Copies of this chain bind each other. A is one copy, B any other.
């Protein structure tokens, strides 16, 4: 019962929460994190037996996880042969940001028409809370609030499809984002930009909302570039 409630809360917000309680979910997230963190090399072979042994589970959940990872594009499975890591390169990150800049623009545009009063309040609260945590330099909370702002806006666009793809990409670049928000200056700018986007959405100014959201992502990308994309991607490599 409790589990069910927790699930419903997070329904549609991403697959991490949803799979937290199953072995398959754990395996999926573990391998996913490892790939995104760069713990595997390109073309590395993922052997089911080795993984299941390492994680102390049977091959069944491992296989299911691998099939999912294939569909996400993180690995390639050659039938009857094996699974191979596709890795995630600096170019991929760059591409995702450019794609996101287009789609977040579209998302903001659609949100103008379809956002509800409750969703507006939710977003306003996030912005307000962010200001507090930025002052206090609570990086973890800032990061969480930034996430929530985007996910709520995805939801507000009223398109299952767009919400789905944007959430995916958002998770994809999680590691990079976590680092870039860790400066007071950038966190403040980001929050100001969020406020401007929401303002345009509230006033149903589609063109402006699209443009602002578009630029918001581009500025994030510029910020990443400044910090050295390659360096950011290696930062967590030597954990665990």
Interface residues of A in 5-40 (CB under 8 A from B): 7, 15, 18-19, 21-22, 24
A205 to B92, alpha carbons, bound, how many Å? 24
Query: Does A2 reach chain B (CB closer than 8 Å)?
Result: no
Asked whether A44 is an interface residue with its Cβ less than 8 Å from the other chain, the reply is: no
* Contact call B79/A21, Cβ cutoff below 8 A: yes
Q: How far is the CA of A189 from the CA of B68 in the complex (A)?
A: 38
Give the CA-CA distance A165 to B121 in the complex, in Å: 33
In the complex, per-residue mask of A215-237: 1 if CB is within 8 Å of any chain B CB, else 0: 00000000000000000000000
Which residue of chain B has its CB nearest to the CB of A78?
B7
| CB contact between A71 and one of B72, B86, B160 (< 8 Å): that residue | B72
CB under 8 Å from chain B, chain A span 34-83: 60, 63-64, 67-68, 70-73, 78-80
Q: Is the CB of B106 within 8 A of A102?
A: yes
Measured in the bound complex, the distance between the Cα atoms of B71 and A70 in whole Å is: 10
**A-B complex: 10 closest residue pairs judged by Cβ atoms:** A95-B161, A95-B159, A102-B102, A73-B164, A71-B71, A64-B67, A68-B71, A67-B68, A92-B161, A64-B64
Q: Are B24 and A67 in contact (CB under 8 A)?
A: yes
Complex: how many Å from CA A131 to CA B14? 45
Encode contact with B along A108-135: 1 for CB under 8 Å, 0 otherwise: 0000001010000000000000000000
Query: Which residues in window 188-238 of A have CB below 8 A to B?
Result: none
In the complex, what residues of B have CB within 8 A of residue A79's CB? 3, 7, 18-19, 21-22
Interface positions of A (Cβ within 8 A of B): 3, 7, 15, 18-19, 21-22, 24, 60, 63-64, 67-68, 70-73, 78-80, 86, 91-92, 95-96, 98-99, 102-103, 106, 114, 116, 158-162, 164-165, 239-240
Residue from the list B68, B70, B159 in contact with A91, Cβ < 8 A: B159
Known: A79-B7, A99-B165. A160 touches B73 (CB 8 A): yes
Q: Which of B15, B21, B106 contacts A99 (CB 8 A)?
A: B106
A20 and chain B: residue at smallest CB distance: B79
| A65 nearest CB across to chain B (Å) | 8
